Amino acid sequence: MPSLDKPDSHLTTVKWRFPSVHPEGRKFTLIAAFLALVTYSLVSHFLGWLLVMVTIWVATFFRDPVRTTPQDPKLVIAPADGLVTMITQVPPPPELAADGGLSGDFTRVSIFMSVFDVHINRTPIAGTIRRVAYVPGKFLNADLDKASEDNERQHFLVEGDDGTKIGFTQIAGLVARRIMSFVKEGDRIEVGERIGLIRFGSRVDVYLPAGASAQVLLGQRTIAGETILGEIGVDRQRSGRSQ
């Protein structure tokens, strides 16, 4: 990932650097590396090399690249890397409607993360965490629409300084078995700040309020902390094509 040498981008050069491994993934990487070493030394060179590849994949899965986030309070930024698989009008989740005060219909943008995507999730706007709600559930394919209601999930509600409230949800999938949060209710967070991760594949839903239509397209890939999902006060749906 590129890194900025100085805070003023017009005065800097950009250099590529290897992404670091998030602390949550270091123990899994070490375990995989130890198993690879033991297997290579005592069991089979072939199986050992296979486990070396698994070790590389585990380290890659937990990679935590630096992201450059647009600093505009009207922008809603993607919280996850992945594929935009659904854009639909829905009411807010009950956990955010009852205790978070969300009402009406929202544009839900669903981002599916494969096992090859970065799984560190980031906040779409700056503000205060008003609600964190964990809901136990199933582990259905995260691509299914009903996954937003049936799967294990964790809801977040962020209130911006202007009172705008954005809800988003981490949803477990077929392989995912643990949703982690790095923040708690009452925390002050900046746009693009890391708020959690989901181990081994899943989905993140973002609820855009009225007057903020999606600025991404079905089939488009998003980059957490960088891709603009929507803009508050801009109700204009983009069009495009796959090619």
Residue 109, classed as helix, strand or coil, is strand
Residue 118 · residue 63 · CB < 8 Å: yes
Assign 3-state DSSP to the chain and report helix, strand, coil percentages, each to 5.
Answer: 20, 35, 45
* Ordered structural domains, the chain, with CATH: 1-66 (no CATH), 75-231 (2.70.70)
- Residues 10 and 127: their CA atoms lie apart, in Å, by 27
Look at residue 235 and give its three-state secondary structure. Answer: coil
Residue type (1 letter), 151: N
CA distances from 118 to 11, 50, 200, 231, 241 (A): 29, 22, 10, 24, 25
Active site residue 114: no
Q: What is the DSSP string of 113-131?
A: E-TTS--EEE-SS-EEEEE
Q: Give the strand pairing for 153-159 and 194-198.
A: unpaired
Q: Rounded to the nearest 10 degrees, what angle do helices 45-61 and 23-42 cross at?
A: 170
- Which of 202, 213, 239, 242 is labelled catalytic? 202
DSSP single-letter state for residue 11: G
Contact yes or no for 18/60 (Cβ under 8 A): no
Question: What distance lies between CA 38 and its chain's CA centroid?
Answer: 35
Model's pTM, two decimal places?
Answer: 0.82
Task: Return d(Cα 130, Cα 127) in angstroms, integer.
Answer: 9
Q: What is the pLDDT along the chain (243 residues), one digit of tens a residue?
A: 454 544 555 556 777 777 788 788 788 889 989 999 999 898 888 888 999 999 998 888 888 899 999 999 899 999 999 999 999 999 988 888 877 678 888 999 999 988 889 889 999 999 999 999 988 866 665 566 666 666 788 999 999 988 889 999 998 876 656 788 899 999 999 999 999 988 766 889 999 988 888 899 999 999 999 999 999 887 777 777 777
